[in-house]
Amino acid sequence: MQIKRTKLPIFNGLQKNACRVILLAVIVLFSNTVSWAQSSKIKTVVIDAGHGGHDPGCHGANNNEKEVCLAMALKLGALIKERYPDIKIIYTRSTDVFVELAERANIANRNNADLFICIHANAGSTTAYGSETYVLGLHRTDAQQKVAERENASIALEDDKGAKYRSYDLTPDGIIALQFQLAVFHRQSILFAEMIQKEFKRIGRYDRGVKQAGFLVLYKTTMPSVLIETAFLPNPTEEKLIGSAEGQQKMAQSMFDAFVNYKNATEGKTVVGGTTVQNNIEPAPVLNNSAQPPETVKEQGLIFKVQIETASKAISTKSSHFKGLEIFEYQDNSLYKYCAGYFPNNLEGAKNYKDELTKMGYSNAFVVAFLDGERISIEKALKLAEKN
Protein backbone atom coordinates (compact mmCIF):
# COMPACT_ATOMS: atom_id res chain seq x y z
CA MET A 1 0.00 0.00 0.00
CA GLN A 2 1.42 3.40 -0.93
CA ILE A 3 1.25 6.05 1.73
CA LYS A 4 0.48 9.51 0.49
CA ARG A 5 2.63 12.17 2.09
CA THR A 6 0.98 15.47 2.83
CA LYS A 7 2.65 18.79 3.68
CA LEU A 8 1.19 20.12 6.89
CA PRO A 9 0.47 23.85 6.95
CA ILE A 10 2.37 24.23 10.20
CA PHE A 11 5.69 23.76 8.40
CA ASN A 12 5.83 27.07 6.58
CA GLY A 13 9.11 28.66 5.52
CA LEU A 14 9.67 30.59 8.72
CA GLN A 15 9.10 27.56 10.93
CA LYS A 16 11.40 25.46 8.78
CA ASN A 17 14.18 27.98 9.32
CA ALA A 18 13.46 28.04 13.04
CA CYS A 19 13.67 24.24 13.21
CA ARG A 20 16.89 24.32 11.26
CA VAL A 21 18.41 26.88 13.64
CA ILE A 22 17.43 24.81 16.68
CA LEU A 23 18.85 21.63 15.15
CA LEU A 24 22.10 23.31 14.23
CA ALA A 25 22.34 24.84 17.69
CA VAL A 26 22.27 21.33 19.15
CA ILE A 27 25.02 20.28 16.75
CA VAL A 28 27.12 23.26 17.79
CA LEU A 29 26.76 22.34 21.47
CA PHE A 30 28.52 19.08 20.69
CA SER A 31 31.06 20.55 18.29
CA ASN A 32 32.09 23.19 20.82
CA THR A 33 33.52 20.50 23.08
CA VAL A 34 36.44 20.26 20.66
CA SER A 35 39.28 22.46 21.87
CA TRP A 36 40.96 24.97 19.62
CA ALA A 37 44.23 23.45 20.69
CA GLN A 38 43.30 20.41 18.61
CA SER A 39 43.19 22.51 15.44
CA SER A 40 45.55 21.29 12.76
CA LYS A 41 48.36 23.49 11.60
CA ILE A 42 47.76 25.99 8.83
CA LYS A 43 48.94 24.31 5.66
CA THR A 44 47.06 26.11 2.89
CA VAL A 45 46.08 29.76 2.55
CA VAL A 46 43.94 31.12 -0.27
CA ILE A 47 44.40 34.82 -1.02
CA ASP A 48 41.68 36.47 -3.06
CA ALA A 49 42.35 39.75 -4.86
CA GLY A 50 38.99 41.43 -5.33
CA HIS A 51 37.47 42.09 -8.77
CA GLY A 52 39.61 41.71 -11.92
CA GLY A 53 39.31 41.60 -15.70
CA HIS A 54 36.24 43.45 -16.93
CA ASP A 55 35.29 44.15 -13.29
CA PRO A 56 37.51 47.07 -12.17
CA GLY A 57 35.80 47.60 -8.80
CA CYS A 58 35.86 51.10 -7.37
CA HIS A 59 38.44 53.65 -8.45
CA GLY A 60 40.39 56.71 -7.45
CA ALA A 61 41.94 59.36 -9.65
CA ASN A 62 44.68 57.04 -10.92
CA ASN A 63 44.01 53.53 -9.64
CA ASN A 64 41.36 50.84 -9.92
CA GLU A 65 40.45 48.54 -7.07
CA LYS A 66 41.32 45.42 -9.06
CA GLU A 67 44.91 46.63 -9.55
CA VAL A 68 45.76 47.67 -6.00
CA CYS A 69 44.11 44.55 -4.55
CA LEU A 70 46.13 42.25 -6.78
CA ALA A 71 49.35 44.03 -5.83
CA MET A 72 48.65 43.69 -2.10
CA ALA A 73 47.53 40.06 -2.49
CA LEU A 74 50.75 39.06 -4.26
CA LYS A 75 52.87 40.90 -1.71
CA LEU A 76 51.07 39.22 1.19
CA GLY A 77 51.51 35.80 -0.39
CA ALA A 78 55.21 36.42 -0.91
CA LEU A 79 55.68 37.41 2.74
CA ILE A 80 53.94 34.27 3.98
CA LYS A 81 55.90 32.05 1.61
CA GLU A 82 59.20 33.61 2.61
CA ARG A 83 58.60 33.02 6.32
CA TYR A 84 56.74 29.72 5.99
CA PRO A 85 57.93 27.90 2.84
CA ASP A 86 55.92 24.80 3.77
CA ILE A 87 52.61 26.66 3.63
CA LYS A 88 50.85 26.37 0.29
CA ILE A 89 49.77 29.75 -1.08
CA ILE A 90 46.97 29.76 -3.64
CA TYR A 91 45.74 32.91 -5.39
CA THR A 92 42.23 33.04 -6.79
CA ARG A 93 43.85 35.19 -9.44
CA SER A 94 47.46 36.19 -9.97
CA THR A 95 46.81 38.28 -13.09
CA ASP A 96 44.16 40.70 -14.31
CA VAL A 97 41.37 38.20 -15.00
CA PHE A 98 37.73 37.97 -13.95
CA VAL A 99 36.83 35.24 -11.46
CA GLU A 100 33.24 34.65 -10.39
CA LEU A 101 32.48 35.14 -6.69
CA ALA A 102 31.29 31.57 -6.26
CA GLU A 103 34.42 30.22 -7.94
CA ARG A 104 36.64 32.13 -5.53
CA ALA A 105 35.03 30.25 -2.64
CA ASN A 106 35.16 27.01 -4.63
CA ILE A 107 38.92 27.40 -5.09
CA ALA A 108 39.35 27.62 -1.32
CA ASN A 109 37.06 24.66 -0.67
CA ARG A 110 38.59 22.42 -3.36
CA ASN A 111 42.04 22.99 -1.94
CA ASN A 112 40.94 22.38 1.67
CA ALA A 113 42.24 25.80 2.62
CA ASP A 114 42.78 26.58 6.29
CA LEU A 115 42.28 30.31 5.78
CA PHE A 116 40.63 32.52 3.13
CA ILE A 117 41.79 36.14 2.87
CA CYS A 118 39.84 38.40 0.53
CA ILE A 119 41.43 41.80 -0.17
CA HIS A 120 39.42 44.82 -1.35
CA ALA A 121 39.47 48.61 -1.41
CA ASN A 122 36.53 50.65 -0.20
CA ALA A 123 34.32 53.12 -2.06
CA GLY A 124 32.86 56.24 -0.49
CA SER A 125 33.26 59.97 -0.37
CA THR A 126 36.58 61.69 -1.01
CA THR A 127 36.85 62.32 2.73
CA ALA A 128 36.10 58.77 3.96
CA TYR A 129 39.13 57.03 5.45
CA GLY A 130 40.29 54.04 7.47
CA SER A 131 40.40 50.25 7.29
CA GLU A 132 37.76 47.70 8.25
CA THR A 133 37.58 43.91 8.14
CA TYR A 134 34.42 41.89 7.57
CA VAL A 135 33.27 38.39 8.38
CA LEU A 136 30.09 36.80 7.11
CA GLY A 137 27.14 37.82 9.24
CA LEU A 138 24.22 40.15 9.75
CA HIS A 139 24.88 43.78 8.93
CA ARG A 140 24.13 46.20 11.77
CA THR A 141 24.00 49.42 9.77
CA ASP A 142 22.92 50.57 6.33
CA ALA A 143 26.54 51.46 5.60
CA GLN A 144 27.66 47.87 6.18
CA GLN A 145 24.87 46.59 3.97
CA LYS A 146 25.91 48.98 1.20
CA VAL A 147 29.50 47.73 1.34
CA ALA A 148 28.27 44.15 0.87
CA GLU A 149 25.87 45.16 -1.91
CA ARG A 150 28.65 46.96 -3.76
CA GLU A 151 31.03 44.01 -3.56
CA ASN A 152 28.21 41.58 -4.41
CA ALA A 153 27.31 43.64 -7.48
CA SER A 154 30.06 41.84 -9.39
CA ILE A 155 27.61 38.99 -10.02
CA ALA A 156 25.91 41.15 -12.67
CA LEU A 157 29.07 40.76 -14.75
CA GLU A 158 28.99 36.95 -14.62
CA ASP A 159 27.72 34.89 -17.55
CA ASP A 160 24.46 33.88 -15.85
CA LYS A 161 23.95 37.38 -14.39
CA GLY A 162 24.00 35.94 -10.87
CA ALA A 163 21.38 33.22 -11.30
CA LYS A 164 23.49 30.72 -9.34
CA TYR A 165 23.21 32.84 -6.19
CA ARG A 166 19.44 32.56 -5.94
CA SER A 167 19.90 29.56 -3.68
CA TYR A 168 22.04 31.59 -1.25
CA ASP A 169 19.90 32.33 1.78
CA LEU A 170 21.00 35.77 2.95
CA THR A 171 17.95 36.32 5.11
CA PRO A 172 18.61 36.81 8.84
CA ASP A 173 17.40 33.26 9.53
CA GLY A 174 19.64 31.88 6.80
CA ILE A 175 22.74 33.75 8.01
CA ILE A 176 22.13 32.73 11.63
CA ALA A 177 21.70 29.10 10.62
CA LEU A 178 24.96 29.21 8.66
CA GLN A 179 26.78 30.77 11.60
CA PHE A 180 25.55 27.97 13.84
CA GLN A 181 26.70 25.39 11.32
CA LEU A 182 30.17 26.93 10.99
CA ALA A 183 30.40 28.29 14.54
CA VAL A 184 34.07 27.47 15.13
CA PHE A 185 35.10 28.96 11.78
CA HIS A 186 33.03 32.05 12.52
CA ARG A 187 34.79 32.63 15.85
CA GLN A 188 38.18 32.11 14.25
CA SER A 189 37.25 34.51 11.44
CA ILE A 190 36.46 37.17 14.03
CA LEU A 191 39.73 36.46 15.84
CA PHE A 192 41.74 36.91 12.64
CA ALA A 193 39.77 40.04 11.71
CA GLU A 194 40.51 41.58 15.11
CA MET A 195 44.21 40.84 14.68
CA ILE A 196 44.19 42.47 11.23
CA GLN A 197 42.60 45.62 12.59
CA LYS A 198 45.07 45.71 15.46
CA GLU A 199 48.01 45.59 13.03
CA PHE A 200 46.49 48.28 10.81
CA LYS A 201 46.15 50.47 13.87
CA ARG A 202 49.82 49.93 14.68
CA ILE A 203 50.85 51.57 11.41
CA GLY A 204 48.58 54.54 11.97
CA ARG A 205 45.48 53.46 10.09
CA TYR A 206 42.14 54.63 11.43
CA ASP A 207 40.44 51.56 12.88
CA ARG A 208 36.90 51.25 11.51
CA GLY A 209 36.49 47.96 13.33
CA VAL A 210 35.49 44.36 12.70
CA LYS A 211 32.08 44.14 11.04
CA GLN A 212 29.66 41.60 9.60
CA ALA A 213 27.67 41.60 6.38
CA GLY A 214 26.30 39.21 3.77
CA PHE A 215 29.19 38.90 1.34
CA LEU A 216 28.53 36.32 -1.36
CA VAL A 217 32.23 35.54 -1.73
CA LEU A 218 32.31 34.39 1.93
CA TYR A 219 28.99 32.55 1.92
CA LYS A 220 30.22 29.16 0.71
CA THR A 221 33.68 29.05 2.27
CA THR A 222 34.17 26.24 4.78
CA MET A 223 37.11 27.68 6.70
CA PRO A 224 37.89 30.88 8.62
CA SER A 225 37.36 33.70 6.10
CA VAL A 226 37.66 37.47 6.10
CA LEU A 227 37.14 40.31 3.64
CA ILE A 228 39.45 43.28 4.17
CA GLU A 229 38.50 46.77 3.03
CA THR A 230 42.00 48.21 3.11
CA ALA A 231 41.38 51.89 2.31
CA PHE A 232 39.04 54.29 0.49
CA LEU A 233 40.23 54.73 -3.09
CA PRO A 234 38.19 57.90 -3.79
CA ASN A 235 40.09 59.66 -1.00
CA PRO A 236 43.32 61.08 -2.53
CA THR A 237 45.32 60.45 0.64
CA GLU A 238 44.07 56.88 0.92
CA GLU A 239 44.68 56.28 -2.78
CA LYS A 240 48.25 57.48 -2.37
CA LEU A 241 48.75 54.79 0.28
CA ILE A 242 47.42 51.71 -1.51
CA GLY A 243 48.22 53.04 -4.97
CA SER A 244 51.98 53.07 -4.32
CA ALA A 245 54.27 50.07 -4.12
CA GLU A 246 55.57 51.27 -0.77
CA GLY A 247 52.10 51.67 0.68
CA GLN A 248 50.97 48.31 -0.69
CA GLN A 249 53.96 46.65 0.95
CA LYS A 250 53.15 48.41 4.23
CA MET A 251 49.57 47.14 4.16
CA ALA A 252 50.66 43.64 3.15
CA GLN A 253 53.17 43.61 6.01
CA SER A 254 50.41 44.45 8.50
CA MET A 255 48.22 41.67 7.10
CA PHE A 256 51.18 39.31 7.35
CA ASP A 257 51.88 40.28 10.96
CA ALA A 258 48.24 39.54 11.75
CA PHE A 259 48.56 36.19 9.98
CA VAL A 260 51.59 35.27 12.10
CA ASN A 261 49.69 36.14 15.27
CA TYR A 262 46.64 34.20 14.13
CA LYS A 263 48.66 31.17 13.07
CA ASN A 264 50.43 31.01 16.40
CA ALA A 265 47.25 31.60 18.39
CA THR A 266 45.33 28.82 16.66
CA GLU A 267 48.30 26.47 16.88
CA GLY A 268 48.77 27.20 20.58
CA LYS A 269 52.09 28.98 20.25
CA THR A 270 51.45 32.55 21.42
CA VAL A 271 50.76 33.71 24.87
CA VAL A 272 53.00 35.96 26.89
CA GLY A 273 51.07 37.65 29.64
CA GLY A 274 47.92 37.34 27.56
CA THR A 275 49.46 39.23 24.64
CA THR A 276 50.12 37.75 21.23
CA VAL A 277 53.80 38.01 20.48
CA GLN A 278 54.48 37.58 16.80
CA ASN A 279 58.24 37.80 17.00
CA ASN A 280 58.79 34.88 19.36
CA ILE A 281 57.91 32.44 16.61
CA GLU A 282 60.50 32.88 13.92
CA PRO A 283 63.40 34.54 15.75
CA ALA A 284 65.15 37.44 14.07
CA PRO A 285 68.89 37.80 14.64
CA VAL A 286 69.61 38.73 18.25
CA LEU A 287 72.71 39.32 20.30
CA ASN A 288 74.39 36.25 21.71
CA ASN A 289 73.54 36.96 25.34
CA SER A 290 69.79 36.73 24.67
CA ALA A 291 68.09 33.35 25.00
CA GLN A 292 64.74 32.83 23.25
CA PRO A 293 61.46 32.12 25.10
CA PRO A 294 59.75 28.78 24.51
CA GLU A 295 57.24 29.24 21.67
CA THR A 296 54.70 26.60 22.65
CA VAL A 297 53.94 27.54 26.25
CA LYS A 298 52.91 30.56 28.25
CA GLU A 299 55.87 32.48 29.65
CA GLN A 300 56.42 31.25 33.19
CA GLY A 301 58.73 32.03 36.07
CA LEU A 302 61.01 35.00 36.60
CA ILE A 303 62.21 36.59 33.36
CA PHE A 304 64.49 39.60 32.94
CA LYS A 305 64.35 41.70 29.78
CA VAL A 306 65.69 45.05 28.62
CA GLN A 307 63.23 47.85 27.93
CA ILE A 308 64.39 50.11 25.11
CA GLU A 309 61.37 52.18 24.14
CA THR A 310 58.18 53.76 25.52
CA ALA A 311 55.58 55.40 23.28
CA SER A 312 52.11 56.88 23.50
CA LYS A 313 51.19 55.20 20.21
CA ALA A 314 51.89 51.63 19.11
CA ILE A 315 55.02 51.01 17.05
CA SER A 316 55.32 48.06 14.71
CA THR A 317 57.74 45.53 16.15
CA LYS A 318 59.03 45.19 12.59
CA SER A 319 59.99 48.88 12.55
CA SER A 320 63.53 49.67 11.42
CA HIS A 321 63.86 51.53 14.71
CA PHE A 322 64.36 48.15 16.40
CA LYS A 323 67.20 47.16 14.05
CA GLY A 324 66.06 43.56 13.57
CA LEU A 325 65.94 42.80 17.30
CA GLU A 326 63.46 40.34 18.76
CA ILE A 327 60.88 42.63 20.37
CA PHE A 328 58.28 42.06 23.09
CA GLU A 329 55.51 44.66 23.47
CA TYR A 330 53.41 45.21 26.58
CA GLN A 331 51.03 47.96 27.67
CA ASP A 332 51.14 49.90 30.91
CA ASN A 333 48.06 52.09 31.27
CA SER A 334 47.96 54.08 28.01
CA LEU A 335 51.63 53.61 27.15
CA TYR A 336 53.20 51.05 24.83
CA LYS A 337 56.49 49.63 26.03
CA TYR A 338 59.05 47.60 24.09
CA CYS A 339 61.63 45.14 25.39
CA ALA A 340 64.38 42.98 23.93
CA GLY A 341 66.12 39.91 25.32
CA TYR A 342 64.92 36.96 27.38
CA PHE A 343 66.85 35.97 30.51
CA PRO A 344 65.16 33.39 32.79
CA ASN A 345 66.26 34.12 36.39
CA ASN A 346 69.42 35.74 35.02
CA LEU A 347 69.78 39.38 36.04
CA GLU A 348 73.47 39.47 35.22
CA GLY A 349 72.81 38.34 31.65
CA ALA A 350 70.17 41.04 31.25
CA LYS A 351 72.60 43.69 32.52
CA ASN A 352 75.25 42.63 30.03
CA TYR A 353 72.66 42.69 27.26
CA LYS A 354 71.59 46.18 28.33
CA ASP A 355 75.20 47.35 27.92
CA GLU A 356 75.31 45.93 24.39
CA LEU A 357 72.01 47.60 23.51
CA THR A 358 73.33 50.91 24.86
CA LYS A 359 76.28 50.61 22.47
CA MET A 360 73.77 50.04 19.66
CA GLY A 361 72.24 53.44 20.36
CA TYR A 362 69.53 52.65 22.90
CA SER A 363 70.88 55.06 25.52
CA ASN A 364 67.76 54.85 27.71
CA ALA A 365 67.76 51.04 27.95
CA PHE A 366 67.14 49.53 31.37
CA VAL A 367 66.43 46.10 32.86
CA VAL A 368 62.85 45.10 33.69
CA ALA A 369 61.43 41.94 35.25
CA PHE A 370 58.37 39.77 34.63
CA LEU A 371 56.85 37.02 36.74
CA ASP A 372 54.63 34.58 34.82
CA GLY A 373 54.23 37.19 32.09
CA GLU A 374 53.34 40.08 34.42
CA ARG A 375 55.62 43.09 35.01
CA ILE A 376 57.02 43.28 38.58
CA SER A 377 59.45 45.62 40.30
CA ILE A 378 63.18 44.95 40.19
CA GLU A 379 63.19 44.91 44.00
CA LYS A 380 60.69 42.04 44.05
CA ALA A 381 62.58 40.28 41.26
CA LEU A 382 65.85 40.47 43.20
CA LYS A 383 64.23 38.89 46.26
CA LEU A 384 62.81 36.09 44.10
CA ALA A 385 66.16 35.60 42.40
CA GLU A 386 67.92 35.26 45.77
CA LYS A 387 65.58 32.42 46.74
CA ASN A 388 66.41 30.42 43.59
| 10-residue averages of pLDDT along the chain (388 residues) | 37 43 43 42 96 94 96 97 95 96 93 96 92 83 65 73 69 67 81 95 92 85 94 95 96 96 81 36 37 51 90 88 87 88 84 87 89 87 75
Give yes or no: residues 331 and 188 share one domain: no
| Within-domain flag for 214 | yes
Give yes or no: residues 288 and 314 share one domain: yes
Give yes or no: residues 43 and 66 share one domain: yes
Those residues whose C-beta lies under 8 Å from the C-beta of residue 132, and which sit 6 or more positions away, are: 122, 197, 208, 209, 210, 211, 228, 229
120 to 67, 172, 367: CA distances (angstroms): 10, 25, 44
H-helix or E-strand spanning residue 31? helix 13-31
For the chain, the domain total comes to: 2
| Within-domain flag for 6 | no
Give yes or no: residues 100 and 236 share one domain: yes
Give yes or no: residues 378 and 239 share one domain: no
Main-chain phi, psi angles of 93, to 5 degrees: -155, 140
Give yes or no: residues 290 and 220 share one domain: no
Contacts 24+ apart (CB under 8 A), 79-85: 79/252, 79/253, 79/256, 80/45, 80/256, 80/259, 83/256, 83/260, 83/282, 84/263
- Residue-level pLDDT at 275: 37
Domain boundary among 242, 266, 290: 266
The range of the structural domain enclosing residue 163 comes to: 13-266
| Within-domain flag for 258 | yes
| DSSP-assigned letter for residue 297 | S
| Within-domain flag for 3 | no
Give yes or no: residues 40 and 177 share one domain: yes
Domain boundary among 209, 241, 266: 266
The CA distance from 194 to 96, in Å, is: 30
Indicate the pairing of strand 88-91 with strand 44-49. parallel
Give yes or no: residues 95 and 233 share one domain: yes
| Within-domain flag for 101 | yes
Reduced to 3 DSSP states, what percent helix, strand and coil does the chain have, rounded to the nearest 5?
40, 20, 35
The CA distance from 262 to 183, in Å, is: 17
- Residue-level pLDDT at 94: 96
| Within-domain flag for 8 | no
- Residue-level pLDDT at 12: 41
Query: Is the pTM for the entire model greater than 0.75?
Result: no
Main-chain phi, psi angles of 275, to 5 degrees: -110, 135
Give yes or no: residues 305 and 209 share one domain: no
| Within-domain flag for 56 | yes
- Residue-level pLDDT at 69: 97
- The CATH number that applies at residue 67 is 3.40.630.40
Burial class (CB in 10 A: 0-12, 13-18, 19+), 218: buried
Give yes or no: residues 65 and 186 share one domain: yes
Give yes or no: residues 67 and 173 share one domain: yes
| Within-domain flag for 92 | yes
β-sheet bridge partners, residue 343: 304
Domain boundary among 266, 292, 317: 266
CB 317 within 8 A of CB 278: yes
The CA distance from 301 to 294, in Å, is: 12
Give yes or no: residues 303 and 223 share one domain: no
